[in-house]
Amino acid sequence: MAAVVTRPSLRHEKLCLAPVAGVDEAGRGPLAGPVVAAAVILPAKGIPRGIDDSKKLTPAERARLHDRLRDCATIGVGIVEADEIDRLNIFWATMKAMTLAVDALGLLPAHVLVDGNHLPRWTHQATAIVSGDAISLSIAAASIIAKHTRDTIMIAHAEAHPLYGWHSNKGYACRAHLDALREHGPSPLHRRSFAPVAQAWLDL
């Protein structure tokens, strides 16, 4: 029996008062760089075709949809850098990035749909949706904005810190990144509260 392929839809958005913002993040797992969240309110008409969970899209597809969404949607982005991640821990840093993203929309959403099973401590009417980026079109759009934005940041940082291969691994803990971390130690953009980075710091 063939597997059923599901695509994000507006089913959840239609159950809420408008405007509805979808929120997702990128960068909880990497050893370096910021965590980035995005909030997206899709237009009533002219939603770009092809929006999906960012993990299912190629970098080129994400870049194209990022630019299309920038032209037609209301977007807010929140960024929390590595040093603040170390102070807050990654969970609370992610919650802060999501809060900053919604605040950056420039208007008050009537409802917020958040990917995952936790909500930031805010006063907005909100719903957490597990695997929301595969179900909700607004959250999927936010996942594209967050992922493309963070990847662009890490590629730019790779120019100043070329030893770690961030142009390809974006700060995630692949073998080449871990080997470079052990050989050269952490950069200023590494998250020292993450175990592999802390160990590399101790080994210097």
User: Residues at the annotated binding site for a divalent metal cation?
Assistant: 24-25, 115
Q: How far apart are the first and last CA of the chain?
A: 55
What tokens does 184 get?
Answer: 């050269």
User: Burial letters for 38-50: b for 16+ Cβ neighbours within 10 Å, e otherwise?
Assistant: bbbbbeeeebbee
Residues 6+ apart with CB under 8 A from 183: none
Q: Residue 76 carries which side chain, given as an amino acid letter?
A: G
Count CB-CB contacts under 10 A for residue 168.
13
Q: How far apart are CA 133 and CA 117, in angstroms?
A: 12
Query: Per-residue DSSP letters for 160-173?
Result: H-GGG-HHHHTT--
Residues flagged as binding site: 24-25, 115
| DSSP-assigned states of every residue in 49-61 | TT---GGGS-HHH
d(CA 52, CA 138): 10
3-class secondary structure, 95? helix
